[in-house]
Chains A and B, each alone.
Chain A
Amino acid sequence: MIASNRIADGTFRVGVGLQKAWGVQMATAFFFGEAGAGLYFVAQFFGFVPGMVAGLLMVLFGKAGGHVLHLGQPLRGWRALTKVRTSWVSRGLAAILLFVVAGALHVIDVRAGVLPAGVSQLVAAVALAACFVIMVYQGFAMSQSPAIALWSGGLMPVASLTYALLNGVLLTLVFGFGEHFLAERPDTVRLLQVLAVALMLYGLVTVLCLLNGARHASEGGRQSVAMLLQGGFARWFVPLVIGAGFVVSALMMLAAPPAFAWMLAVAGLELTGYYAFRVLVFKAGGYDPALSFAYRFRH
């Protein structure tokens, strides 16, 4: 019998321990980060100012606010800018600051036209680049370390980017409903709908690949996946992340009539699935047994 293949959380037993350092506050910050940055990214593509403003506010208050609430010493938070060379958290904070400043400048410039043409383009490019970093860095921050097999897969940044783009497309369809850039061009609405379905399918495959990779990576990964698909978290993960977040929302989007309530419902389902993904992946993150080879000495 091998005793190390079990959850030994909070006990003095050999086994898989669950991480507790990142919880709902971090999940909320990640949620707003990817939803806000995704919305800004798509909105800037269409020059849709209300969407850009909403994206900026989501990042500024939702993401940054969530991180501040999470920190043990929030007044020292500025120190997180000092290790950009090695830490993805540091790089992310730098990107947030750059994004908020450049994004706000770009929004003002689009409305008031205060910047010269060259500077205006530069500011727009910087805002977009910083926004892109926010869309992916959370995945890199999670996969940077080999500690938690569920997180350390190379597909985590891909999942972040996919979710961010998907959130951005859906929120643009909601916020932009009735706006001239969509109302006057039904083909654009259709294009965004097809893009959303494609991203849902891609996101579903990415999440399944993440789980498959973690399952075969280590004992901790296997236990994490078991918790998500069969254990205590399965009643949330399967219906919300897989069902509502991908399958139902994709089917609804395929059959979508041009109605605001329908778009809102699809976006709501997808965002619920995404938030559940963030929370549950944090909660199910498991460390491998510290000395998983101990029993091998005896056999």
Chain B
Amino acid sequence: MAKWGMVFDLRRCIGCNACAVACKQENSLPDGVFFTKTLSEEVGEYPDVTRSYVPTICNHCEDAPCERACPTGATYTRPDGIVMVDRDKCIGCGTCIVACPYDQRTRLEPEMLNKGLFGDGRLTPFEEQGIGRFTAGTVVKCTFCHERVDAGLLPACVATCPTEARIFGDLDDPHSRPRQLILERRGRQPLPEKNTNPRVFYID
């Protein structure tokens, strides 16, 4: 069984946010909800200043604190390592949100689902077909586009990234590209001191 994971190449990310747009489109995400964000950071002092981009996503941690904290079992880890939320079990208590060190979870408030992407209270046909995926008052997060992965496709953000800054694959396979990159370029996990063992790595 594969253990899916992702590598972010910080040298390649140009902050175009195509990943975020692809994610929103693939998952029909309502206004204000992001499964992936590209954060920016200015580093240095004038005249030696640069801006770096830090893509973020649910890290599908091996020891996921969100799963441990969830009082209903709605958050669970699939055998392939993808951390999921069962919307039929989620009670919207928010415990997983405060347990996630990476701030990658969102509770869907009813107004989020009703106001529409244009904020005029009307849903576009695109939103209408997508809104059935969600239940108000429950928590949502990145699923590594599990439907696509199950069908043998790449997650939407990976497939869209124009600079191939996102590399997806089986971390248990020593010959997979992400595994090779992690080894060759000393991949680092975000906030390793939190002891969550994320399946997302950063290389620079």
Judge whether A181 is part of the interface by a CB distance below 8 angstroms.
no
Q: Which residues of A contact B72 (CB under 8 A)?
A: 76, 79-80, 82-83, 90
Q: Which residues of B contact A21 (CB under 8 A)?
A: 94, 97-98, 105, 107
Interface size counted on chain B using CB atoms at 8 A: 54
Judge whether A292 is part of the interface by a CB distance below 8 angstroms.
yes
Q: Which residues of B contact A292 (CB under 8 A)?
A: 191
Q: Are B39 and A14 in touch, CB under 8 angstroms?
A: yes
* Interface hit among A126-134, A144-152, A160-168: A144-152
Judge whether B136 is part of the interface by a CB distance below 8 angstroms.
yes
* Cα(A80)–Cα(B92), bound, Å: 10
Interface residues of A in 110-165 (CB under 8 A from B): 141-142, 144-148, 151
Query: Which range contains the number of A residues in contact with the other chain?
Result: 35 or more
* Cα(A272)–Cα(B174), bound, Å: 58
Partner of B190, one of A12, A19, A141, A290: A290
* Cα(A297)–Cα(B202), bound, Å: 11
Q: Which residues of A contact B37 (CB under 8 A)?
A: 12
By beta carbon, the residue of chain A nearest B65 is: A145
Q: Which residues of B contact A295 (CB under 8 A)?
A: 41, 43, 52
Q: Are A294 and B10 in touch, CB under 8 angstroms?
A: yes
By beta carbon, the residue of chain A nearest B97 is: A21
Q: Which residues of A contact B39 (CB under 8 A)?
A: 8, 12-14, 290-291
> What are the interface flags for A1-13 relative to B under an 8 Å C-beta threshold, 1 for contact and 0 otherwise?
1111000100011
Q: Are A285 and B98 in touch, CB under 8 angstroms?
A: yes
Shortest distance between the CB of A223 and any CB in chain B (Å): 14
Interface residues of A in 37-81 (CB under 8 A from B): 67, 70-74, 76-77, 79-81
Q: Are B45 and A70 in touch, CB under 8 angstroms?
A: no
* Cα(A39)–Cα(B92), bound, Å: 30
Q: Are B98 and A145 in touch, CB under 8 angstroms?
A: yes
Q: Are B103 and A17 in touch, CB under 8 angstroms?
A: yes
Partner of A71, one of B93, B97, B100, B202: B93
* Cα(A297)–Cα(B53), bound, Å: 13
Partner of B69, one of A1, A89, A293: A89
Q: Which residues of B contact A148 (CB under 8 A)?
A: 98
Judge whether B163 is part of the interface by a CB distance below 8 angstroms.
no
Shortest distance between the CB of B81 and any CB in chain A (Å): 19
* A288-B43 in contact given A73-B90, A82-B72, A147-B99 (Cβ < 8 Å): no
* Cα(A287)–Cα(B56), bound, Å: 14
* Cα(A83)–Cα(B96), bound, Å: 13
* B contact set with A: CB distance below 8 Å: 10, 37-45, 50, 52, 54, 56, 65, 68-74, 89-95, 97-103, 105, 107-109, 135-139, 188, 190-191, 193-196, 202, 204
* A contact set with B: CB distance below 8 Å: 1-4, 8, 12-14, 17, 19, 21-22, 26, 67, 70-74, 76-77, 79-83, 86-90, 93, 141-142, 144-148, 151, 218, 285, 287-288, 290-295, 297-298
